[in-house]
Chain A
Amino acid sequence: MIENLVEITSDQLLGEITKAKVEGYRFVTASCADNGDDTIDVIYHFDRDYGMKNFKITVKKGEEVPSISKVIFSAVLVENEMKELFGLNITGIVIDYGGHMLLSEEELGSPFLRQQITIEQRGGKQ
């Protein structure tokens, strides 16, 4: 149902993003979704003259994903957000908040993932 969706690998990501930018596409945002297994989908949304182009990569949890912020600076915030909320291992973000743009020290890691450990041991009590 999504128009102009292209599935690529994370190795192709920077090349495709750079090409889209050169072709005049505007970066809209990126969306992240947990597939419920050990993979995560990341979709990068672009627009040109109100027509969208979307690049989708599927990565294993913990697998490195190159940051696109060197090519598109406005991806800085969304990349930090995906890194914190989904634990996506994005490397080389131009401004990296180190996992604390939204979350504080006390928060559980990756709260938007479907599977997470919800029982914490605090002071010897569970």
Chain B
Amino acid sequence: MSSTVIPFGPQHPVLPEPLHIKLVMEDENIVDAIPAIGYVHRGLEKLTETKEFTQNVFVVERVCGICSVMHAMAYCQGIEELMNIEVPDRAKFLRVIWAELHRMHSHLLWLGLLADAFGFESLFMQVWRDREKVMDIMEETAGARVVISANTIGGTRRDLTKEQMVKINVTVDEIKHDIQQVEAVFLNNYTVKHRLVGRGILSKADAIELCAVGPMARAAGIPMDLRTTGYSAYGQLDFEPVTHSDGDNYARTYVRLHEVYQSIDLIKQAIAKIPEGEHVAPFKGNPPKGEVISRVEQPRGEVLYYLRANGTKNLERLRLRTPTFQNIPSLIKMLPGSQLADVPLLILTIDPCISCTER
């Protein structure tokens, strides 16, 4: 049978950002897929070499809006390790609260996009209504809705009042109640399951072979979650990675939906356990010197920061590897064998963040 090459993207209704994939088709079946990126490459890694190490917190936050808190967190943790800065316990809990709020709004955004992609507009609107509540918390607590600049080297730039924590507790309970209302539609509705179950399968063996991370790996049965290493205040909180064994579109939906509940639980635990005290440790002394690797768990999976400093105010090198960058090989593996009609949903279920991927 002769093959046809169909370009998917870079502009496509299901993609919020530009990603191009050449699909080699035989009839309606995909036999090969070649990705092309590079449409929004900004050279942010190079930019960090021209800024002072304290200014870079604001640069790395702009790698990606959806996980900006985690980018800043990973960068600050790296610098703090290089400079032997002891972060106050309160700041560690504050970082967890803002990070989990970010994970919630990322997963809720994705669930809404998924609903929109399979044509369930009212579901999309219901999920995004709850996401707005998270954005409102960000605005009230940090003064911005997306890039909130909560982290700084040595702790956090802001603190939370008791009243704010009470309000966060009430709001996340409301969101939990709302998501429980729509959970059955995502996980049990016949039409939705028809689009998700058995489509875009990434087996556990393939996920290991292709080094998948985040919900992609957990949906394939790999209980890998860097938060379990206990960085920041996660070591003082009780949780287990959410996993599924099927590795298909449905499994990835299940994992992200349940991670919303997990984030709510972590926020409530952190608020219950947060100690009194300072939220930032002032630091003195020489600028950082040496090499360090810092990793945290973003909504899409593991992010790695490699920092090389030479004792001046400017870093010699800042390298970051984002989760979507790592999950693209898995996408290439999942596409062959699928039908053309399944491609939009399949690509969406890796939760691609091209802004992160290209930096």
Contact = CB atoms under 8 A, between A and B. Distances in A.
B249 to A, nearest CB: 21
Contact of B290 (A1, A29, A111): A1
Contact of A74 (B229, B290, B304, B329): B329
Contacts of A95: 34
A83 to B, nearest CB: 13
A29 to B, nearest CB: 4
Contacts of A111: 43, 46
Contacts of B208: 26
A78 B314 CA distance: 24
Given A1-B291, A26-B211, A31-B319, A103 B229 contact: no
Contacts of B82: 1
A31 B294 CA distance: 13
B126 interface: no
B211 A102 contact: no
A31 B306 contact: yes
Interface string A1-21: 111000000000000000000
B157 interface: no
B326 A45 contact: no
B interface bracket (residues with beta carbon within 8 Å of A):
35 or more
A119 B38 CA distance: 24
Interface in A59-104: 72-74, 76-78, 95, 97, 100-104
A103 B291 CA distance: 28
Given A73-B209, A102-B358, A45 B37 contact: no
A78 B321 CA distance: 9
Nearest to B290: A1
Given A45-B304, A50-B229, A72 B290 contact: no
B292 A33 contact: no
A97 B34 CA distance: 10
Contacts of A73: 209-210, 329
Contact of B37 (A50, A54, A101): A101
Contacts of B317: 31, 33-34
A29 B293 contact: no
A97 B41 CA distance: 16
A78 B292 CA distance: 19
Given A1-B82, A33-B319, 16 more contacts: A26-B208, A28-B321, A31-B319, A33-B308, A33-B317, A50-B229, A73-B209, A74-B329, A77-B37, A77-B329, A95-B34, A100-B38, A102-B37, A102-B38, A102-B358, A112-B43
Interface of B: 34, 36-38, 41, 43, 45-46, 81-82, 208-211, 226, 228-229, 290-293, 302, 304, 306, 308, 316-317, 319, 321, 325-326, 328-330, 358
27 contacts: A1-B290, A1-B292, A3-B293, A29-B304, A29-B325, A29-B326, A31-B321, A33-B317, A33-B319, A34-B317, A50-B226, A50-B228, A50-B229, A73-B209, A73-B329, A74-B210, A74-B326, A74-B330, A76-B329, A78-B321, A95-B34, A97-B36, A101-B36, A101-B37, A102-B38, A102-B41, A112-B45
